[in-house]
Structure 1
Amino acid sequence: MKEDLINKQSGMEIGIYTLADLGPNPHTGKTISAQQRIAEIIEAGKMADEAGLDVFGVGEHHRLDYAVSAPPIVLSALSQVTKQIKLTSATTVLNTVDPVRLFEDFATLDLLSNGRAEIIAGRGAFIESFPLFGYDLNQYDELFEENIELFLKLNADEKVTWNGQFRSSLKNADIAPRPAQKNIPLWVGVGSTQKSAERAGRLGTGLALPILGGDPNSFRPLVDVYLQAASQAGHAPEDLKVGVTGHSFISETTQQAKDEFYPYYSNYWGYLNRQHGKSMQMSRADFEQFSAPETALFVGSSQQVIEKILYQYELFGHHRFIAQMDIGGLPFKKVAENIERLATEVAPVVRRETSK
């Protein structure tokens, strides 16, 4: 069944995403403003579109050390300066957003972009949105289950009657506007829990796997559970999609990539751990282990990154790979160089090999 996930004509979709973190440059100690960060994200999206990449994602956080709390607004700006690239959230914190408002926002984005809007839904790495919008973190799973089922109903029907636990009822409500596409593609981001993978399969959404390090084999059971649940629920194999997301940095040689990226990668995990109340640091020895050929960290030469993507394709048969490059205070010049390498050196080979 995994082989059916790929469009045999075009091969795997390749793209990039950003979480818009506002980290200091480890070499200068300077942190750019949220305004500059968003401007650079818009420029990165334009570059990715012009270079022929397939997908551009923008994450959601509700903290001062991240620049984007409203992905549909940033994606709408991107829709006006791009032509072909798909525009997705990465991720939408579905537990703490009204599904009706979410649908309206992304249906509007879909109209503005001529049918290029998508959503990756998940819990996210932080919990600030729960108290911010008045939700109980202890009801995380119940909120997610109710909101995703309601969103799928909104996605399918122009008029909806619905009753639930956490929001007001709907009675023959107009759900407008309708998107340019038949419906808005919805993926569920699943980090490690088989229950979440099973739910994605049961509901027939896409499955997005954030594989940030370690042995990619450990994620294979999630794909198996997803496909099995989808089959049991009667979803057609051609309607199922698996995506992989991961940190990436590409340079002329693997050694050069590791030398250039380590200060930013170590810096990223340093401030991310502090944001979560931890004081863990990443040594160069740890980084060497993280970036070894058999691991999931996409750092190296173009050939090294190609090999890692194709190895994971053998495991998952996935439809999409999107890379996160702009972390740890990485200067935009380096981000731009990576977009170019991914689009011109990595994507053509991966598409060719996965379309066979």
Structure 2
Amino acid sequence: MKIEIGISTFGETTPLRKTGRPISHAERLQNLVEEIELADKVGLDVYAIGEHHREDFAVSAPEIVLAAGAAKTKNIRLSSAVTILSSLDPIRVYQQYATIDALSNGRAEIMTGRGSFTESFPLFGYDLKDYDALFDEKMEMLLKINEQTKLNWQGKYTQNVDNLPVYPRAVQSKLPLEVATGGNIESTVKVAEWGLPIVYAIIGGDPKNFAPLIKLYREVWDKLGHDKAKQKVSAHSWGWLAEDQTKAERDYFYPTKVLIDTISQERPHWEPLTFNAYQTMIGENGAMFVGDPETVATKLIKVIETLGLDRFMLHLPVGSMPHEETLKAIELFGKEVAPKVRAHFAKK
């Protein structure tokens, strides 16, 4: 049983604890390329970068950062996390990731999603009332582009295309496409109906609560007769590593609180983070993976087994941490956690 282990990030730029100030977007973007390069060197399987249009996240164009990473890596797969397809042109999305595919010799992937933040909608002139319809139509369009060079398309929210070719084509016969969701039942069913891999963002509560959704995804998949070999379930969760358990837990509270407290001012169902709530989140049944390599590996094995995952991505870090410490956390995750997890499942 092969388990893929990787990292996801949004390129956060929240204030650092030591200075009380965030680093610049430019510095964070440059650091990201170095982090991708290290993730490749320590043997991780995938590095995924999300798209946002906010001051506290540096990455609005993940495909450009991934292209920079493609030139400095040899083996790691490069994905978005996510591409907010609802507010983008599917033709350009395909072209950009086909270009990354060429630069990386066939290592590009696209993870699409509606996006949990909605700043891109007014920024690019879209109406939030069309939130679901935009995504569904653009996803269908992207799927068609991925299948064939010449595109015939009649759109309601997209342009009409009359038998025109889309270039360049991916090095892979088709770009791997997967869809991310926060755990919505309707989204789970739709992804299964499309016959696409699914990625769950597990950032709160007990990860085992996602088991019924994953069961539903597989049931719908099987009912429709999709190829079992193409079924893939992934998850992404927040986390942090240090050589010492206590240090990891202590150091990671501040950036997590900064990020959650900021979001809680925008979303009524989020609350400012207390230390007690944080301890629950990083505890045995919490959604966060924080600690020394042995602790993180043990918890990760349990979650992968409980949910039957094929791939896991640790979102590292959430909130900003010093670059040198982030590099050390990536090294620990790649050199110590990933081998333990892979060895465990290799016996299955």
Q: Partner of 1:84 in structure 2?
A: 75
- Separation in 2, partners of 1:142, 1:50: 41
Q: Secondary structure at the match of 1:115?
A: coil
SS at match of 1:172: strand
1:202-258, Cα deviation, whole Å (9 max, x unpaired) = 111111111112111211122112112221222111111111101111223433321
- Give the alignment's TM-score, normalised by structure 1: 0.94
> Partner amino acid for 1:125?
S
Residues 40-79 of structure 1 aligned to structure 2 (within 5 Å): 40-79=31-70
The answer to whether the Cα contact below 8 Å between 2:9 and 2:49 also exists between their aligned partners in 1 is yes
Corresponding residue for 1:18? 9
Aligned partner letter, 2:202: I
- Which string of whole-angstrom CA distances, capped at 9 and with x for unpartnered residues, describes residues 119-174 of structure 1? 11112221111111111111111111111111111101111212121112122110
Q: Is the 8 A contact 2:183 2:201 kept in 1?
A: no
Corresponding residue of 2:86? 95
The aligned counterpart of 1:235 is 226
SS of alignment partner, residue 164 of structure 1: coil
Q: Is the 8 A contact 2:82 2:111 kept in 1?
A: yes
SS at match of 2:43: coil
Return the offset for 1:276: 4.3
The equivalent of 2:174 in structure 1 is 183
Give the gaps of 5 or more residues in structure 2. none
Cα-Cα RMSD: 1.5
What is the rounded CA distance, in whole Å, between the counterparts of 1:101 and 1:299 in structure 2? 37
> Which deviations, in whole Å up to 9, do the C-alpha atoms of 1:10-47 show, x marking residues without a partner?
x2111111101210012320211111000100010011
| 2:101 counterpart residue number | 110
CA distance in 2, matches of 1:185, 1:251: 33
The alpha-carbon deviation at position 278 of structure 1 amounts to: 8.3
**CA offsets per residue over residues 38-71 of structure 1, 9 Å max, x none?**
0100010011011111111111011233211111
Residue matched to 1:33 = 24
Count of paired positions: 347
Q: Does structure 2 conserve the Cα–Cα contact (< 8 Å) formed by 1:23 and 1:271?
A: no
CA contact 1:110–1:116 (8 Å) conserved in 2: yes
Query: Offset at 1:277?
Result: 7.3
C-alpha distance in 1, partners of 2:162/2:220?
A: 31
Range 161-170 or range 177-186, more displaced:
161-170
Contact 2:109 2:175 in 1 (8 A): yes
Equivalence map 1:192-341=2 (5 Å): 192-276=183-267, 280-341=271-332
Q: 1:59 to 1:73 in 2, by over 3 A?
A: same
Contact in 2 for aligned 1:202/1:232 (Cα 8 Å): no
Q: What letter corresponds to residue 99 of structure 1 in structure 2?
A: P
Cα distance change on mapping 1:279 and 1:27 into 2, 3 Å: farther
Letter in 2 for 1:161: N
Counterpart CA distance in 1 for 2:206 and 2:340 is 23
SS at match of 2:213: helix
Percent pairwise identity: 37
CA distance in 2, matches of 1:147, 1:293: 40
CA apart distance, 1:342: 0.4
TM-score between the two structures when normalised by the length of structure 2: 0.96
Decide which moves more: 253-262 or 315-324. Answer: 253-262
SS at match of 1:183: coil
* 1:280–1:26 distance in 2 versus 1, CA, 3 Å: farther
d(CA) in 1 for partners of 2:341 and 2:262? 33
Q: CA deviation at 1:112?
A: 1.1
Unpaired runs of at least 5, structure 1: 1-7
Cα displacement (A) at 1:74: 1.0
In 2, Cα distance between the equivalents of 1:176 and 1:311?
43
The one-character-per-residue Cα deviations of 1:273-327 (angstroms, maximum 9, x if unpaired) are 2354788421211111111112221112212211221112222221111111223
- Counterpart check, 1:132 vs 2:123: yes
Q: 1:260: Cα distance to partner?
A: 1.9
Contact 1:296 1:308 in 2 (8 A): no
Three-state SS of the structure 1 residue aligned to 2:265 is helix
